[in-house]
Structure formats: structure tokens, C-alpha cells
Amino acid sequence: MSTQNYDYIIVGAGSAGCVLANRLSADPSNKVLLLETGGSDKSIFIKMPTALSIPMNTDKYAWQFHTEPEPYLDNRQMHCPRGKVLGGSSSINGMVYVRGHAKDFDEWQQHGAKGWDYQACLPYFKRAESFYLGGNSYRGDNGPLGVNNGNEMANPLYKAFIKAGQQAGYAQTDDYNAAQQEGFGPMHMTVKDGVRSSASREYLDPVKSRKNLTLITGALAEKVLLEGKKVVGVEFSVSGSKQQAFAAKDVILSAGPIGSPHILQLSGIGDKDILSEAGVEVKHHLPGVGQNLQDHLEFYFQYKCKQPITLNGKLGLVSKGLIGARWLLNRSGLGATNHFESCAFIRSKPGVEWPDIQYHFLPAAIRYDGKSAFDGHGFQVHVGHNKPKSRGAVTIKSADPQVAPKIQFNYLQHQDDIEGFRACVRLTREIIEQSAFDEYRDGEIQPGKDVQSDEEIDAFVRQAVESAYHPSCSCKMGEDEMAVVNSQTQVHGIEGLRVVDSSIFPTVPNGNLNAPTIMVAEKAADHILGKPVLSASTADVAMEKQWQSTQRSSEI
């Protein structure tokens, strides 16, 4: 068994791990090891934004996890893919760039994550980003991550969606990642120069040649090595050969919301009863490991389109070939966008303080596997209730690291989540029925006009919802008895061990998770290195003042 010595060992070269590898190795005196089970991210299907459905559904690039039968979704087993490639899920995701609402991060602090409120997090969002319209109090202009709007909403359906929202009485927002999330406006994506702007491309590629950074791919982390209550290294295997690496300072788990709690449990850190049942020797009883699991669900609202202007007319081999050729030649056109170019964030009912419903608009009626939903032209809007109260768990099943853990989200367990999706159906239908869509709308495909009552909506949702692929919160940050890490990202009761990825979110934000995961890693890097954190922002946040009595407002 070979052994190696480092200052820091990072497990997982995903959205968080690539950030950490860059920031920790910037000091040449720090010897850093980065371990990743997957391999190269140089595939054209990863680089080309429009090909987003391919890497997510390819075994080579993603762990193809599935949940246990979900009891509140008619016992459906839900697909839960996670990145298994350099860049992790930032190399297989939909590239949607959403930070979350300011109140989401204030909520983190209220849950015990001290120093992680919005004003403390905003400078790290800015540090990570290069926004295509330039920097300001909210946006960064010289960070690694490229953010733009794709093709500037060239298809008229994008703007029709925004106009319909205004006609329905909702506000417009020019930048939902700035002062005002609530409202309808253009959507942002992590694309730079027509290419996916993944954590691997932007954070890892520029520093791979550093002599103090070692990257090992094809490495499956099996457990952390403990001496009493101190972690001293990692045991991993490459092509079946076991190896050990030792860390003088910290081992940092950045294996994601499924991988990080599983590695902790494989190492004997977790709930003692769960570990014992799986045949794992208990090294440290920490009951919150794997608990508090959260995710976003969504479904598609689909309509036929009167005009032949949708992407359904671009799904043939000739059209795909032309799109691909243009992208290969100059990284432009329909190949250079994820096609989610307008969006909205609204509140589901009066008394909800900040948005809990998210929309992604798509000028096509299409499934996630890239196939047409029907013959003809159509459009759809993805909608989900994004502040769920249902909670699940990631639970080790075997001491064998090759055996995937049990994943159970308990989707729609809470009545508030069920009512949130009823609001999604009724509010969305009202928006699409506005006059802005009269020249385009040609009949509802899904859910269908016959889905009207609470019972009909509930039955439709149970069958139609899919994961939005935002699992998180399974190693939550805080100070209560179910917290796994403290506000410095250190595992409670264990020296030399941290977790830095979306698993440490106390609650799931209202939005996609790549942006906040990268932000968390940026901020955690300063904690790990003992640097002063960036000065807190004083930027204002726009809120609906009458939120207790109104569900919508045209002005905020």
C-alpha cells in the first residue's frame, strides 16, 4: 500500500473541490492533494451548453443514483444523478446561475450558521464571478466563473413570458441575482465564450501545473483515517489498489450531498445505530450525518405553439448538425446556450415573505432526455415549489464503499409542500393565459384542462414531478445536536476534518445550487487558510413591503 504526505487533502473535484484546490494551492508552501473518482471533462458534450442532457445521463460522467420508493410520490423511485467527472455536477448540470434570495442566507444564520448571512456571503458571490454586463454592488466582474444570458432572448417567447408575468400583476426584475429576486426577467447561465463555465474549467484548469497541487483521478475515497478523534488522512483505491494519503493540516470532504455523508459514515462517523446496523465500527457518534436531506422538485407546464418558432423544429439530425457545426466553428448560436433565457421568482401566497416558486422558461416542449414531448411546435415552463419542509436522509447500507447508500427524500411529506405545488399549477396557468401569449398559445398539453381540483392536481403532481437535481443539506452547518459542521466548516468533535459542499447548507435556497456551492467554497477557503473574511456588504435588498397581505405586486 503506497502512502503520500500533504498539508491538505480534498476529496472530490466538483464545484466546491475545484475552488478549494485553486485557493489552497495559491500559497506554494501548501502541498495539496485533490482526489476525484471520475476523469476528464474535455468531452464536447460537456463543453457545448445545448448538449446539457447528455452528460447527466451518461454513466461515465455521473453517479446514476436512484432513491428508494418515495412514499408520497406513489412509490416512484426518483433519478438522482451526481457529477463523477472533473468539475463534478458543474460539468453535468443545466448551467443555470441562481444565487438564491438574500433571506435564504439570513435563514442560514438563524439556523446557527454564524457569519453566513447574506451580507457576509455577497462578497464571495462577487469574488467568484465575471458578469457579462460588468460589476456593481451585487455583481463581480473579474472572478473565474463566466455568467451571461446566452443569446439575449432572441426567441420572442422569452419576452412574452416576462410580459405575461407583468400582465398578471407581478413585478419585473432586471437582475434576480442583485437587489431584487422577486419578479420576471432574463435568466443567467454559467457560460463563457460559448462554452460551459464549469468549476473545473475556471478554477482547476488554470492551476493544474502548480508543483504543489497533485490531482489523482479514478480515485474512490473509502474512508478518512482516524487517530482517536483526529483525522490524519484518507484511504482510497485506484483501479482496485488501496492507497493512503496523510494530511498535516486538514482533510476536506467535497464529495457532495450524497458522497460526503456516505464517506463520513464509512469512516465510522455518524449515528451509532445506523452505523452498527451497516456493520461499521462506531468511531464518533454524530447523529446529524446524512439527515436533513432536501431537494427541489419541478414539473413542466407545456403548451402547443401556433407559430413554428420553437426548438421543436430543431431536433432533426440536419438541424442538430448545423447547430453543432456553427458552435464548433465560432462557439455561437443555439449550441452556445442552455435555452433557459427568461425566468421568474414569485411567492405562492400572501404571508410568504420571499419567493418560494421558481420558473425556468424554455421555447420548446421537450423532455430532460432531449426528446420531443409531442409532434409539432410547443413551449414549456419548468415550475417548482422551492422552500420545501419535507426532510429525508442519506443512510449507509454496507461497510463496502462500492455499495451506494440509501437515499430517501420523503418528497411532499409535508402538507405545505403539497399546497405549494397546487399554487404552482393554478398561478402558472393564469400567467400563460395572459394576452402576451395569445399569438403563440395553442392549447395546454400538460397538465391538461381536466386537471382542476385539489385532488386532480395532487394526483398529477405525484406522477409528473421530477427532481430539479438540487440535493443538499445532509451535513448541515450549525450548533444544534443535529449539526455536522460548525461555522468554520469543521466537523463537530473531530479534529482535522471539514466538509465543504452543498451538504452543509442548513436549508435549501430558492434557486439552483451551483452558485451558492461555489460561494460556500470561496468563503470556506478563507476559513481554512486562517485569512480574514471579506468585509460584509452593505448593499440593499428589495422586498415586497405588503407581503403579509398580497401574493403579488407590480412594483417592489
Count of CB atoms situated within 10 Å of the CB of 134: 9
pLDDT tens digit sequence for 27-45: 999 999 999 999 999 999 9
Count of CB atoms situated within 10 Å of the CB of 106: 18
For the chain, the average pLDDT equals: 96
Q: For residues 59 and 438, what is the distance between their CA atoms, to the nearest angstrom? A: 42
Cβ neighbors of 274 (< 8 A, separation 6 or more) are 265, 290, 395, 396
**Furthest CA-CA distance within the chain:** 69
pLDDT band (50, 70, 90) for residue 103: very high
pLDDT tens digit sequence for 158-186: 999 999 999 999 999 999 999 999 999 99
pLDDT of residue 464: 95
Is the pLDDT confidence value at 486 over 70?
Answer: yes
Q: For residues 116 and 182, what is the distance between their CA atoms, to the nearest angstrom? A: 22
pLDDT of residue 378: 95
The helices-and-strands tally (H runs, E runs) of the chain is: 13, 25
Question: Is 377 assigned a catalytic role?
Answer: no
Cβ neighbors of 363 (< 8 A, separation 6 or more) are 155, 157, 158, 309, 310, 311, 339, 379
pLDDT of residue 554: 81
pLDDT of residue 314: 84
pLDDT tens digit sequence for 310-329: 989 888 888 889 988 999 99
pLDDT tens digit sequence for 362-398: 999 987 555 556 778 999 999 999 999 999 999 999 9
CB 394 within 8 A of CB 261: yes
pLDDT tens digit sequence for 60-95: 999 999 999 999 999 999 999 999 999 999 999 999
Residue 55 or 555, more confident: 55
Instruction: Calculate mean pLDDT across residues 145-151.
Output: 97
CB 93 within 8 A of CB 514: yes
pLDDT of residue 369: 59
Quick check: bond before 355 cis, omega within 30? no
Q: Tell me what percent of the residues of the chain surpass a pLDDT of 90.
A: 93
Q: Which of 66, 470, 492, 527 is catalytic?
A: 470
Cβ neighbors of 19 (< 8 A, separation 6 or more) are 128, 199, 203, 518, 521, 522, 525
Instruction: Calculate mean pLDDT across residues 486-511.
Output: 98
Q: For residues 218 and 240, what is the distance between their CA atoms, to the nearest angstrom? A: 10
DSSP 443-510: EEEES-TT--SHHHHHHHHHHH-EE-S--B-TT-BSSSTT--B-TTSBBTT-BTEEE-SGGG-SS--S
Q: How many CA atoms lie within 13 A of 85 on its CB side?
A: 29
Cβ neighbors of 436 (< 8 A, separation 6 or more) are 160, 161, 163, 164, 167
pLDDT of residue 375: 77
DSSP 520-533: HHHHHHHHHHTPPP
In the chain the domains, ranked by start, together with CATH numbers, are: 151-186+297-387+412-464 (3.30.410.40)
Instruction: Calculate mean pLDDT across residues 228-234.
Output: 98
Please tell me whether residue 365 adopts helix, strand or coil conformation.
Answer: coil
CB 47 within 8 A of CB 85: no
Is the pLDDT confidence value at 125 over 60?
Answer: yes
* Nearest alpha-carbon partner for 292 in 394, 433, 203, 405: 394
Among 224-238, 370-384, 462-476, the range scoring the smallest mean pLDDT is 370-384
Cβ neighbors of 453 (< 8 A, separation 6 or more) are none
Is the pLDDT confidence value at 337 over 60?
Answer: yes
Can you read off the three cell numbers belonging to residue 259? 458522497
Instruction: Calculate mean pLDDT across residues 192-203.
Output: 98
Q: Strands 284-285 and 269-270, how do they pair?
A: parallel
Instruction: Calculate mean pLDDT across residues 108-126.
Output: 98
Is the pLDDT confidence value at 281 over 70?
Answer: yes
Can you read off the three cell numbers belonging to residue 378? 410547443
* Nearest alpha-carbon partner for 481 in 251, 289, 250: 289
pLDDT of residue 1: 59
CB 473 within 8 A of CB 507: yes
Is the pLDDT confidence value at 124 over 80?
Answer: yes
CB 167 within 8 A of CB 434: yes
